[in-house]
Structure 1
Amino acid sequence: MALQKRRGSFLDNTLEISKKQKIGEDKGKQTVGRPYATTFRISDIDIKLSKDDVLRHVKERFLTDNDESIQIKGSSLAPSPVDQDRYQVATVTFDKVPSALVDCLGSQIPNPFQIPLGNHRSTTFIESAFIGLTPLNDNSNVNFDVDLIFVTGLAGHAFGSWKATNSYTMWIRDFLEGDIEHRQAPRVRILTYGYDSRLLCNTSTAGITEFAQGLLESVTNARRLSDQQERPIAFVAHSLGGIVALVMASRGTDHHRKVLRATCALICLGVPNRGMRNDELKKMVKGQPNERLISDLGMRSETLQRLHDAFSRIFSLPRNVDHSALAKFSYRDEDYQNLRGRIFDCVDKSVRTIRTRFLSD
C-alpha cells in the first residue's frame, strides 16, 4: 500500500485497497444488492434532547406490544452537518425491523414523528435511505479539525454497505469513531454520504457527473461557517464512490473553491478506476434510464480513462475477500487495523497539508 500523487489537482494523496483479483478481471456473474436494513436515520432532533431521551422515545413510539422482543443493537447521536446549533441526527440499529417501521424500508421519503420537548412537541423524521450526509460521531462536539467522509459504491447504501455481513456491527460507527475519539487529537467529524445508484427499478438518469456534483454541493453546504471552510477533508470511498469523489475533486466553481482546496486525501476500497467488465450489469439495466451510468463504468470508458490518466501510479493492499466485503469489518482484525492506520496517517497529515496550502494563498 502506498500514497499516490495526483498531478494538477487539489487532491494530494490517493490510496487504493483492493482484493487480490482486480475488479476488471472478475470471472462470472456479478451480483450487486442493497443490504437488508435494520438501521434507521432520525433527523431534525432538537439539540436539547439527549441520546437517552431519543432512544426512550424511539422505543415508546415504534416498539409496540408485538415487538417487545426487539432490541436496539447500536446507535449514535451527533449534531446535524448543516444546522449544528439547532438539530441533531441519530442512527438506530435494531436486531429486527419493528412492524411500525416496515413501510420506511427503501423509501426516500422520511416519516415524521413527534418527541415531547417541554410544553410542546418537536417534529423529527425517520427513514432508512440515508441519502446525503449522515454524521456518525456519538457526542455533542461541533469543534473539529478534520472532516472524514465515507462515500458508498454502486448500488450501495451509506450505512448498510459498511455494515458487516450477518452482524449488527457497522465498523465506522462502532469501532472507528471510538478509536479516533481515543486519540483525542486531531478531532475528526465522521460522515457517510449516500446517493441513489440502485440498479433495478431506478428511474433516475443521474450518472457519475451528477453524483459528483451532488457530493460537492452537500459537502459545501455542511461547511458554510467561516471556521469550517479551511478544515481539511479526507475521503474513504468504496467502488463507484471513489470515482464520484475523484470527479468531485476535479470540478466546481468559485463557490466551491474552498471545499476543493481543503480536499487533500482519498482512500479507495476496490475502486474500478480502469473500468470493470459490466456485461451482466448492462443486461440488468437494459432499457432503464441508468444505462448510461453502467456504460460509463466499462473497460473502455472514456470517462474513466481520463480519470486514470490524472494519476501517476496505483498501488494496492490485497484483501482476500469479495468486492462488497472490502468495505466491511466485523471486528478489529489485522485488515481493519491496517486501514485504520492509513486513515490516521491521512488525518494527521491533512492538518499540516491544508494549513500550509491556505497560508500560501
Structure 2
Amino acid sequence: PKRESKFQPNREPTFRVRGVPNDWDRNKLESFLAERDIAAAPVVQSLAKEFHGRSQAATVFFQNTCQLPLKISLPAYSGQFGEQRILTLDHDFIGITSLFTPPQQDHKVDIIAISGLGGHAFGSFKERDREHMWLRDALPHGMIDESDKHFARIMVYGYESSVPNSDSFQNLEDIATSLHSDLRTLSFDSSFKPIVLIAHSLGGLVAKQVLISLCMSKDKVNRSLKRAIYGIAFFGVPHDGMDISSLIPMAGDGPNRFLLESIGSTNSQVLSIQQREFSKALGGPGESEVVSFYETRLSPTALKDEGGRWSMSGKPAALVSKASATHCRPWEDGPEHICAINRTHSEMVKFSVEDPEYDKVLGRIRSLAQHAITARRSM
C-alpha cells in the first residue's frame, strides 16, 4: 500500500508579537507564552530588535489554536515613564516588522519587502502550507560579509489591500503616503542606512510612487531618505498594467474598484504618468539599480463558488506579462537586471528550502545590497 506522508499542512497563521523586552531571548518569550497557553505549543521563529529600538518583535507559530489574548501585560516591566509594558499579538503585520536585525556595529544596509495586491506582509513570502519564509529564514544568512558577519536588517511592510468586501477607497498615492511615513521612522539622527526594496506586484507601484514623492520634496529627511534608497528588486510588478478581468467582479462596485482599474492593462493613465516620473526619480546609472523578475507560469484567476465565496481557482491566465514586468528603465535590459521566475504570479515570491529559483533571487539581491553599501561609501 502507498505510504501516507507524515506532513500535515499548516493552516494556523503566524503571529507577530510586539513589545518584547530587549533583554528577552527566544526561550524566555516562548516560556512566557507557553505558561499562559500551554496547549497552543508556541514556537518562536524569529526575534529581532524593532527599528525604534525600544523593544523587539517576534514571529511565533502556534502548533495548536492559540487562545491567548491579543494584549498581555508584563507586570515586572514598565516603560521609560512608568507606563505598563504590554505584549501585543496580531497576524495582520500592518506597518514595518523587523524579521532580522544584525548587531549594531555590523549593520550596513536595510532590506524592506513590500507585498502585493490582496497580499500579506508575511504570508505572501512564506512557502505555501509550510513554515519556511525566505526573508526570515534564508535571506539574513545570505547577507554576510567576508568576516562571516551579518550586515543586513530584514523587514517587511504590510498594508491593507484585500479585493473582496473591501471598504477602502485608497489609491496608489494613499498607500504610498503610509509607506513613506513609516520609512521616515528608520532614520537615526536624520540619516539612513542604505536601503534596498523588494517589491511584489502592487507593492512595486507603491514603491515607485514613494520615490516620486521623495524626488519632489525639499524636506531634509525626505532628501536623505531619497539618497538612501539605492535599489529595488521588482517581482511581477505591472509597470504597464496587469490582467484584472477576474478581479473586477470580485471588487464589484466597491470603493476599491478605482485602485484596481488604475493598474489594469488597458491604457492606464495613472501608470503611464507614474512610469514617466519614476524614470527621473530613482537616479541614473551608478546612482541606483533596478532588477526585474517576471513570472513564466499561468496563474489561477478569481472565481466565485455557489456559496458566494471567492477563491483563486478560475481559468489560468498570465496576470502580468513579461513586457509589463520588465518595462522599467531602458539601460537595465540585460540578464543581470531581468530574470525569469518559473512560477505563477503569487508563487514567484514563495521559495522552499534549497530552491533553485531562490538562488537566482539571492544572487541579485545580495548584489544590490553590496552595491548600495559601496555607493554610500563613495558619496
Note whether the superposition's TM-score is higher than 0.5. Answer: yes
For 1:37 and 1:215, the matched residues in 2 are separated by 28
Structure 1, unmatched stretches of 5+, are 1-34, 102-110
How many angstroms apart in 1 are the aligned matches of 2:342 and 2:163? 26
Matched, 1:216 2:183: no
Residue in 2 that maps onto 1:91: 59
Contact 1:63 1:100 in 2 (8 A): no
C-alpha separation in 1, matches of 2:273 and 2:77: 57
- Is 1:172 aligned to residue 135 of structure 2? yes
Find the counterpart in structure 1 of residue 229 from structure 2.
Answer: 263
Fraction of identical pairs, as percent: 28
Q: How does 1:1-361 map to 2 (within 5 A)?
A: 38-64=13-39, 67=40, 70=41, 72=43, 75-82=45-52, 84=53, 86-100=54-68, 111-115=70-74, 117=76, 122-137=85-100, 141=104, 144-181=107-144, 184=148, 187-223=151-187, 225-226=188-189, 229-252=191-214, 253=217, 254=219, 255-299=221-265, 300-309=267-276, 310=279, 311-313=328-330, 315=333, 316-357=338-379
Contact preservation (8 Å) 2:37, 2:66: yes
CA shift, 1:50, in A, is 2.1
Distance (Å, rounded) in 2 between the aligned partners of 1:304 and 1:185: 41
1:141 Cα deviation after fit: 4.3
4+ runs deviating over 4 angstroms: 118-121, 138-143
Q: Which amino acid aligns with 1:273?
A: H
Between 1:337-346 and 1:136-145, the stretch displaced more is 136-145
TM-score normalised per structure 1: 0.78
Contact 2:102 2:151 in 1 (8 A): no
For 1:144-181, what per-residue CA distance to the aligned partner results, in whole angstroms no more than 9, with x for missing partners?
A: 21111011111111100000012111111111122324
Larger radius of gyration: 2
Give 3-state SS (helix, strand or coil) of 2:340's partner: coil
TM-score (norm 2): 0.74
Helix, strand or coil for the counterpart of 2:93? coil
Distance 2:104 2:90 in 1: 24
118 and 195 in structure 1: CA distance in 2 versus 1, 3 angstrom threshold: closer
**2: distance between equivalents of 1:231 and 1:140?**
14
Q: Tell me the amino acid that sits aligned with residue 353 of structure 1.
A: A
Cα distance, 1:71 vs. partner?
Answer: 5.5
**Deviation of 1:235 (Å):** 0.4
Distance 2:183 2:12 in 1: 25
Please give the root-mean-square deviation of Cα atoms over the aligned residues, in Å: 2.4
Moved more, 297-306 or 91-100: 91-100
Cα shift at 1:41: 0.7
Distance 1:160-1:182 versus aligned 2 partners, 3 A rule = farther
RCO comparison, higher one (Cα < 8 Å, 6+):
1
Contact 1:38–1:95 under 8 Å retained in 2: no
Instruction: Tell whether the 8 Å contact from 1:175 to 1:332 is kept in structure 2 after alignment.
Output: no
- Figure out how many residues of one structure are paired with residues of the other and give that number: 305
2: distance between equivalents of 1:203 and 1:292? 12
The corresponding residue for 1:16 is none
Give the counterpart letter for 1:285 in structure 2.
A
Distance 1:348 1:126, change over 3 A: same
Shift of 1:327: 0.4
Contact preservation (8 Å) 1:208, 1:293: yes
Give yes or no for contact 1:319–1:335 (8 Å, CA) kept in 2: yes
SS of match in other structure, 1:242: helix
CA contact (8 A) 1:278 1:298 kept: yes
**AA partner of residue 333 (structure 1):** D
